[in-house]
């Protein structure tokens, strides 16, 4: 059952692990944008 989390089928190109990692990567990218915004705000105001 655990192996099904990683197995791709012909019908679906993504596994549950792919979805989880994909969401994580997307949210991480936005977190980096937020960090950049905060850094710019701090640098300009300082």
Partner 1 sequence: MLFPLAVAIIAREWNAALDFLIGFCACLLAGFFLVLICARGKRPISWTHGMVVASFSWIIGMLLAAIPYYLSGHYLSYLDACFDVMSGFTTTGLTLIQDLDHAGYALNMWRHVLTYLGGQGMVVFALTFLMNDAGGAFKIYVGEAKDEKLLPNVRNTARAIWFISVVYLLVGTLIFTLVALGEGIKMPRAFLHGLWLFMGGWSTGGFAPMSQNILYYHSLLIELFTIIFFTVGSFNFALHYAVWSGDRQELRKNVEIISFTVTLILLTLLTTAGFMKAKIYPDWMAVFRKGFYHLISGHTTTGFMTVYARQFINDWGELALLALIIAMLIGGSASSTAGGFKGLRMGILFHALREDVRRLIRPETSVLVEKFHHLREVVLGERHVRMALMIIVLYVFMFAVGTVGGLLAGYPLLEAMFEAASVTGNVGLSAGVTTPATPWGLKVLYIIMMWLARLEFMSVFAMFAYIAAGLKNR
| Residue 15 near residue 8, CB atoms below 8 Å | yes
Question: Is residue 30 involved in binding partner 1 (CB under 8 A)?
Answer: yes
Stretch 6-25: interaction string toward partner 1, x if CB under 8 A: -------xx---xx-xxx-x
Q: Which residues of 10-37 are buried (b: 16+ CB within 10 A; e: fewer)?
A: eeeeebeeeeeeeeeeeeeeeeeeeeee
Question: Is residue 5 involved in binding partner 1 (CB under 8 A)?
Answer: no
Applying CB under 8 A, which residues contact partner 1? 13-14, 18-19, 21-23, 25-27, 29-31, 33-34, 36-38, 40-42, 44-46
């Amino acid at each position: 059952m655990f192996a099904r989390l990683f197995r791709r089928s012909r019908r679906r190109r993504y596994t549950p692990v792919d979805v989880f990692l994909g969401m994580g990567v997307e949210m991480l990218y936005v977190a980096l944008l937020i960090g950049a915004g905060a850094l710019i705000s701090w640098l300009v105001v300082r």
